[in-house]
Amino acid sequence: MMAMVLAIAAATTLAMAQQPSIDPVVDSAASHGFAGEVLVTDASHVTYARAVSAPGRSHRRGELWRWASVTKQLTATLVMQAVAEGALSLDDTLAQRLPAFKGASAGRVTVRMLLQHTSGLPNPDDTPAASSSDVPDFYRRTSPGAGDAADALGYCAGRPKGEPGAAFSYNNCDYIVLGAVLEAVWGKPFAVSVRDRLARPADLRTLGIAGDGRSSPKLTSGFMENGDPEPDFVLGTFGAAGAAFGSSDDLAAFDRALIGRRYLDDAATAIAWSGNAKIGYVALGVWSYPAPLKGCDGAVKLVERRGEIGGVEVRNLIAPERQRALVVFADRAGLDFGEIWQGKGLTYDLASAAFCP
């Protein structure tokens, strides 16, 4: 019995020694106003998990967060599944795959352009807002169809802002339209495809897509940079561009499914994670780039997805060659995450600790 106890103790010590040394980084971030959750996972399980609270901002493990623009990563994964199945091509135009889209550039905007934000479509962020600190009216609607194909065929089919393929311009309409393309290809609502093709295969039990004003589980709210509560908005209006929600553990499980090729094979993953240096290393639904990290020899390939809605921010980073992922949720807008390429800042420090232990 004593030998067994010693063996278990040794195994536990070894496992703890393999944990990323993130606590000092998280402690420092907390002292500068960070509150939320931080997770690290390898290809099989979570290796580090911590909820961080602050005065008036209490958090615990397992909360439900809005995933914001990480939703775009889900959408891009579904698009690549359709491509791998031969149901869709990255060079298909909207005129081919979504004939109901009557926008002036329908015959020239391709699926690839939508994925990489080079479509030139209208931008919902340009709709009026009540004040400089408020959200655009597009995201406050409770009408039926808000965030669904009705927006893809309505507002997003309006007068283009730019020439298709000419330049990168971040735009939620790109992914709202992609959601409608997927609905046309598979003949089912976007939320159903997320459930059947992403949540169920990886046993994601909290992942959901918010509807247009319909009830949904209580999600963690956030605060603005000045400490005020975030303004009102309707999460469902973000559609396939930002309406996903779930736990940090489910986001980590989604990353593990990507790392383990449960959603896409090697060929499809390579295409999805190929960053275009000419447009800032934009890949398909993510950014993919080499980065020097503290403690690692040579550059580390990173696949990054950011999100922010209201007072909640999320960072989702995968280091595919190291088979690890880092998930960060924060409850305050304007948190200084820094930029990894600058070799400093919170994201750089967290990524270094997570991927170069």
pLDDT above 70 as % of the chain: 92
- Quote the CA–CA distance of 136 and 144 in Å, as a whole number: 18
The torsion region of residue 263 among left (phi > 0), alpha (psi -120 to 50) and beta comes to alpha
Percentage of the chain beyond pLDDT 90 is 86
14 pLDDT more than 50:
no
Examine the pLDDT at 7 and tell me if it is beyond 50: no
Dig out the tokens for 43 from the structure: 């290809």
Name the band, by pLDDT with cuts 50, 70 and 90, for residue 12: very low
Contact 307, 67 (CB under 8 A): yes
Residue whose structure tokens are 């927006």: 151
Is the separation of the CB atoms in 230 and 221 below 8 Å?
A: yes
Q: Does residue 2 have a pLDDT over 70? A: no
Q: If DSSP codes are grouped into helix, strand and coil, which group holds residue 246?
A: strand
pLDDT at position 63: 96
- Mean pLDDT throughout 151-167? 97
Say what the pLDDT of residue 215 is.
54
CA gap 63, 203 in Å, rounded: 17
Please state, in angstroms and rounded to a whole number, the distance separating the CA atoms of residues 324 and 316: 11
Query: What average pLDDT does this structure show over 152-174?
Result: 97
What confidence tens digit (pLDDT) does each residue in 67-85 have?
999 999 999 999 999 999 9
Q: How much is the pLDDT for 206?
A: 96
d(CA 261, CA 76): 15
Is residue 20 scored above 70 in pLDDT? Answer: no
The residue behind tokens 């209490």 is: 58
Distance CA(306)–CA(328), nearest Å, equals: 10
pTM of the full structure: 0.93
- Does 11 score more than 80 pLDDT? no
In eight-state DSSP terms, residue 197 is: I
266: left (phi over 0), alpha (psi -120 to 50) or beta: alpha
Mean pLDDT value of segment 88-109: 97
- In this model, does residue 56 exceed pLDDT 50? yes
The three-class DSSP label of residue 147 is coil
Q: What is the pLDDT of residue 1?
A: 34
Evaluate if residue 144 carries a pLDDT over 90: no
How many angstroms separate the CA atoms of 245 and 219, rounded?
Answer: 8
Neighbouring residues of 294: CB distance < 8 A, sequence distance ≥ 6: 348, 349, 352, 356
Predicted confidence (pLDDT) at residue 4 exceeds the cutoff of 80? no
Q: Strand, coil or helix: what is 73?
A: helix
The architecture of the domain spanning 20-355 is: 3-Layer(aba) Sandwich (3.40)
pLDDT in tens, 313-355: 999 999 999 999 999 999 999 999 999 989 999 999 999 999 9
* Distance, C-alpha 161 to centroid of its chain: 25
Q: Residue 301: exposed, middle, or buried by beta-carbon count in 10 A (0-12, 13-18, 19+)?
A: middle
Q: How far is the C-alpha of 317 from the C-alpha of 190, rounded, in Å?
A: 24
Backbone angles phi, psi at 27, to 5 degrees: -60, -45
Residue with tokens 């990168």: 168
Is it the case that residue 310 has pLDDT exceeding 80? Answer: yes
Cβ atoms of 262 and 197 within 8 Å: the answer is no
Q: Model confidence at 214, in pLDDT bands (50, 70, 90)?
A: low
Amino acid at 259: I
